[in-house]
């Protein structure tokens, strides 16, 4: 968890996560991609405990930093997913298990592999066993191969066993959008349709904002285009769009009610969990995570 002040806090899945999140909504919520059973958070070569395996993790950022969301760029990732499937199929019996929207700039792809561990590997800060080294070398080989042919995929992310990823349905603290899992098939049309659910905030009710720096034209998750806006313009936008610009530091809220984005953030978290807890709970979310 990353709180509103930017401080990190590690939590185990059995620590009453849902209640703590509702009480103090974090800016960001992540889980480890690979699975560990440890007394302390996994931290590189200092990690002790057991390594339990996990999926290959691929990351592609297609939206430039410090720019608004682009529906077409994220939906266009369908071609990247297809190319990744092709190259992995040529290199072994790999299967895409899950494709997720990261909450702002790109997508995450989780791939099942044929190297599932029969027994947990013991991790020690004093020595690295051969099985662990072989596991890491195999990941580096696969990730470099994919990165060579398809530079959009960041091979260093895939090769990093300590990588973390946003938990599905958690809200991105810099975009007011939530990370979400796509349902296959991963076509451009289907991804575009599903992205409408990437915000827990209203797309019909509007608030007034003041633009603090120029905003280019962008297409939001609802398929509508907004902008361009000049600095110091005052405009009225759907709450979801307004908060997206506010959290990206493109604008400030101008109306009565919650002026602090943190208040909007807390309301969004509570609405998200109260409305969706029957579909998925925090206890079900971690497929990686710290703990057994």
Tokens 């401080």 correspond to 7
Please indicate, yes or no, whether residues 34 and 145 belong to a single structural domain of this protein. yes
The structural domain count of the chain equals 2
pLDDT mean over 110-138: 78
What would the pLDDT profile of 129-183 be if each residue is shown by its tens digit?
788 888 889 889 989 989 988 899 999 999 998 899 998 888 898 899 999 999 9
What would the pLDDT profile of 85-104 be if each residue is shown by its tens digit?
998 888 776 889 999 999 99
Please indicate, yes or no, whether residues 35 and 80 belong to a single structural domain of this protein. yes
| pLDDT value at residue 291 | 29
Q: Which CATH number goes with the domain that contains 230? A: 3.40.5.50
- For the cut 90, the answer to whether the pLDDT of residue 65 exceeds it is yes
Please indicate, yes or no, whether residues 173 and 215 belong to a single structural domain of this protein. no
In contact, 273 and 266? CB cutoff 8 Å:
no
Phi, psi of 2 (to 5 degrees): -120, 120
| pLDDT value at residue 21 | 74
In contact, 283 and 273? CB cutoff 8 Å:
no
Q: Would you call 218 helix, strand, or coil by DSSP?
A: strand
Please indicate, yes or no, whether residues 43 and 146 belong to a single structural domain of this protein. yes
Q: Where in the sequence is the domain holding 71, given as residue range(s)?
A: 27-188
Please indicate, yes or no, whether residues 136 and 262 belong to a single structural domain of this protein. no
* 1 falls within a domain: no
In contact, 48 and 123? CB cutoff 8 Å:
yes
Confidence of residue 25 (pLDDT cuts 50, 70, 90): confident
Closest CA to 200 of 230, 238, 237, 228: 238
| pLDDT value at residue 258 | 47
């Amino acid at each position: 968890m990353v709180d509103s002040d930017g401080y990190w806090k590690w939590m185990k899945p059995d620590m009453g996560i849902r209640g703590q999140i509702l009480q103090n909504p974090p800016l960001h919520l992540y889980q480890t991609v690979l699975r560990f059973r440890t007394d302390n958070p996994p931290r590189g070569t200092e990690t002790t405990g057991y390594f339990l395996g996990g999926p290959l993790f691929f990351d592609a950022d297609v939206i430039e930093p410090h720019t608004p969301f682009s529906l077409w760029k994220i939906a266009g990732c369908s071609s990247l997913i297809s190319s990744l499937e092709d190259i992995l199929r040529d290199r072994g019996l790999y299967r895409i298990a899950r494709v997720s929207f990261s909450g702002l700039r790109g997508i995450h792809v989780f791939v099942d592999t044929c190297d599932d561990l029969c027994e947990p590997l013991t991790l020690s800060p004093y020595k690295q066993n051969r099985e662990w080294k072989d596991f890491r070398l195999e990941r580096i080989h696969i990730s470099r191969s994919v990165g060579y042919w398809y530079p959009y995929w960041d091979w260093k992310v895939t090769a990093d066993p300590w990588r973390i990823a946003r938990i599905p349905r958690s809200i991105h603290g810099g975009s007011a959008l939530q990370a979400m899992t796509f349902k296959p098939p991963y076509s451009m049309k289907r991804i575009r349709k599903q992205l409408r659910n990437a915000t827990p905030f209203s797309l019909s009710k509007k608030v007034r904002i003041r633009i603090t720096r120029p905003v280019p034209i962008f297409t939001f998750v609802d398929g509508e285009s907004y902008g361009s806006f000049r600095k110091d313009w005052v405009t009225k936008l759907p709450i979801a769009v307004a908060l997206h610009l506010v959290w990206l530091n493109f604008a400030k809220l101008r109306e009565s009610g919650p002026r602090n984005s943190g208040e909007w953030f807390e309301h969004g978290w509570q609405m998200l969990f109260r409305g969706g807890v029957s579909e998925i709970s925090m206890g079900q979310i971690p497929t990686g995570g710290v703990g057994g």
